[in-house]
Amino acid sequence: MVQKTKKAAPKKAKKTTAAKASSKAEDFRAKSGDELNTQLSNLKKEQFNLRFQRANGQVENTGRIRVLRRDIARIQTVLTEQHRAAQAKG
């Protein structure tokens, strides 16, 4: 007897995630260096607090840690771009 196998439905691409990431980067690029540094320090403080909560087993939203890491990296990337653009001008 030949058994029929079900084909798995094709996975949908995560276009929304990539679109959100690029829009966040564009939002960061629209800000000044001082605003980005302020936001960066706030995100790092939040990350620090979440690390302690995770160590104590109190963190409720574990996905927030990942989002913070990525936002910090985005801000640092934009700050580096701005710094290099300023060096190229002057």
Query: Of the segments 3-7, 11-15, 20-24, 55-59, which one has the largest average pLDDT value?
Result: 55-59
* This prediction's pTM: 0.76
pLDDT higher for 1 or 83? Answer: 83
Q: How many CB atoms lie within 10 A of CB 74?
A: 20
Is the confidence at residue 71, as pLDDT, over 80? yes
Q: What distance in Å separates the CA atoms of residue 5 and residue 66, rounded to the nearest whole number?
A: 38
Q: What is the pLDDT of residues 17-69, one digit of tens each?
A: 677 777 888 999 999 999 999 999 999 999 999 999 999 999 899 999 999 99
Instruction: Tell which residue, 21, 39, 34, 50, has the closest CA to residue 75.
Output: 39
